[in-house]
Chains A and B, each alone.
Chain A
Amino acid sequence: MVENNSYMNLPKIHSISKKILVGALGAFLSFFLLFHASANLLILRHDGGEWYNAFCHFMGTYVIVKVLEIGLFAALLLHAGLAIWLAITNKMARPKGYHKPQRSKTHTGSKLQMWTGILIFACLIMHFTDFYFVKIGWVKGKYMVNTEELMKMKATQPAAVSFAEQRGELSAKGNWIANLTADDKAVLQEAGVEVEPDFYHQAREKFKVLYIVIAYLVFFTVVWFHLRHGFAAIFQTFGLYNYKYSRAIEVLGQIFTWGVCLMFTTVVLLVYFGL
């Protein structure tokens, strides 16, 4: 009559393990956000996108980054998927609900987490339309071309090169001719020249549009809520939250959440006001 312990042998993921995974993936995504936000600050340089685009070029072409990018998308999907799975099992734990809505003092962030998560997902589609899909080629945007590439083709494709020459200085050192339109891209591609998205001008153009700016502000408010709860929750889930450090974690969470969200939104606002 010994209690059946066979469930211990099954490859079952227990609730806490799922939560730890969600938390770990969340931590990874948070780091990415911090990284992304820091990089965005480069947009604020009035250098015609020299630094920012150089960074984007690196990110777009370096092979390890490419691998990480796949990891990032996988993490995002897994993070959301596991969270939804947990939410469904959690919902099942109370088949009949209460008549009176709950009035306990709680962390609202947690109750919103699922919805802020879904909103973030929706907003990401907007964000992708603005930026990421340009890279893939699903959406038209701003482009840039490297003069080094063009110089190589001077002999075979004079038309393309002269087209580019009209736009900017052609030098053998490899500077970028940026702010090209989709039509320009078509011409260049016809000539067989590799074109890259010009996120600097893309961003500066998008962030001049009022409704887009508002959309982004809303987006980051949602992100704020999601991070605000998520940051402390990660510590809690990883078992690092205790009597000694609870205050420190709270403060750190505030700094991180506000930091990331402010970095993103300042860039958007400064560009909008033309600063």
Chain B
Amino acid sequence: MNFTLHIWRQECANAKGHFETYKIENISPDCSFLEMLDILNEQLITGSTPHSPLLTPHSPISHPVCFDNDCREGICGMCGLYINGRPHGNDDGITTCQLHMRKFKDGDDIWIEPWRAKAFPVIRDLVVDRSAFDKIIQAGGYISTTTGGVPDANTIPVPKHAADEAMDAASCIGCGACVAACKNASAMLFVGAKVCHLALLPQGQVEAADRAKKMVAKMDELGFGSCTNTYACEAECPKLIKRQNISMLNRQWISALLGRDKK
């Protein structure tokens, strides 16, 4: 298969950035999207290709395209490209590394952009800084335990439906597709998933309202937008996390407002 790639190139955080066009040929439909980019990079580095004689990059020595990736099996949350108007590309419930070229048509133009959000500044090319997510978690996305001194695991039974729902919420991989997809660059689905995961379990209920309060405050502070119920996040979440988590976050927020905690 042959493709024309339009890739966002930006040398560093402060550089201006622009789209660069590359042609790539003889790609197997079983090739994953990131492997296709590997092939492109290989061609950029060596200046030639095993399949087609030469590429036409702008400069003779082109730095390979930088993009974040790690596990390449859809669980680490490291990869994330905005492909033809959709975070993680044109398929549901997958990360970019799970997208395969068979999902495209031969000869397609493919536009590849980094996540765009104030809270996710570009580092280089398609690599963005998502440490804002870590900061939100640090604001309270955990149960306050220290090592040791905890009760036996079976002391507190957890209703199966709660455990299952918590698991669904907890499957968030922190890739940032929700923010990338949201027209407001809001992190509500990310925050909602964590708040729900912990609030649904008896172990996490103690801090539930306080946790919601702190995490949302941090989210606002870091420059994420707010939710306007468009649910693009839900549509693009590689782990199919549901909007119900946002609703539950709102509920936790209300109970924090109405709670007895003076803060």
Which residues of A come within 8 Å of B, CB atoms? Answer: 3, 5, 7-9, 14-20, 86-87, 89-107, 110-111, 113, 229, 232-233, 235-243, 246
Contacts and interface: CB of A to CB of B under 8 A. Distances in A.
Interface stretch (B29-37, B52-60, B78-86): B78-86
Which 8 A-B residue pairings sit nearest by Cβ, starting from the closest?
A239-B251, A93-B225, A15-B226, A90-B184, A103-B85, A90-B225, A110-B230, A93-B185
A102 B225 contact: no
Interface stretch (B39-47, B62-70, B241-249): B241-249
Contact of A239 (B8, B87, B248): B248
B116 A239 contact: no
Nearest to B139: A3
Given A87-B228, A100-B84, A236-B246, 9 more contacts: A15-B216, A92-B223, A103-B84, A107-B231, A110-B230, A229-B229, A233-B229, A235-B247, A242-B248
Interface string B197-230: 0000000000000000110110111011111111
B15 interface: no
Best-buried of B118, B248, B250 by chain A (most CB within 10 Å): B250
B229 to A, nearest CB: 4
A239 B229 contact: no
A15 B220 contact: yes
Using C-beta atoms within 8 Å of the partner chain, give the interface range for chain B.
35 or more
B84 A93 contact: no
Given A3-B138, A94-B185, A103-B86, A239 B250 contact: yes
B111 interface: yes
B181 interface: yes
A106 B235 contact: yes
Interface of B: 6, 8, 19, 82, 84-87, 90, 111, 113, 116-119, 138-139, 165, 181, 183-186, 213-214, 216-217, 219-221, 223-232, 235-236, 242-244, 246-254, 257, 263
Given A86-B228, A111-B183, A99 B113 contact: yes
A232 B246 CA distance: 13
Contacts of B227: 15, 19, 237
A241 B228 CA distance: 14
Contact of B216 (A9, A14, A92, A97): A14
Given A15-B220, A237-B250, A102 B86 contact: yes
A7 B235 contact: no
A113 B246 CA distance: 19
Contacts of A107: 229-231
Contacts of A19: 226-228, 250
A9 B225 CA distance: 21
Contacts of A232: 229
B118 A238 contact: no
B117 A104 contact: no
Given A14-B220, A242-B244, A104 B229 contact: no
Given A14-B217, A98-B113, A104-B181, A90 B226 contact: yes
A92 B184 CA distance: 8
A102 B139 contact: no
A93 B117 contact: yes
25 contacts: A15-B216, A15-B226, A15-B227, A16-B216, A89-B226, A91-B225, A93-B224, A95-B118, A98-B116, A99-B111, A100-B111, A102-B181, A104-B85, A104-B86, A104-B181, A105-B232, A107-B230, A229-B229, A233-B228, A236-B243, A237-B227, A237-B247, A238-B250, A242-B247, A242-B248
A93 B184 contact: yes
A97 B116 contact: yes
B136 to A, nearest CB: 12
Contacts of B90: 103
Contacts of B87: 104
B250 A236 contact: yes
B252 A239 contact: yes
Best-buried of A20, A86, A91, A110 by chain B (most CB within 10 Å): A110
A102 B251 contact: no
B85 to A, nearest CB: 4
A240 B248 CA distance: 8
Contacts of A246: 244
A115 B242 CA distance: 26
B256 to A, nearest CB: 9
Given A95-B118, A102-B181, A243-B244, A110 B228 contact: yes
A188 B183 CA distance: 57
Contacts of A87: 228
A191 to B, nearest CB: 55
A104 B230 CA distance: 10
B143 to A, nearest CB: 17
Contacts of B254: 20, 238-239
Contacts of B82: 98, 100
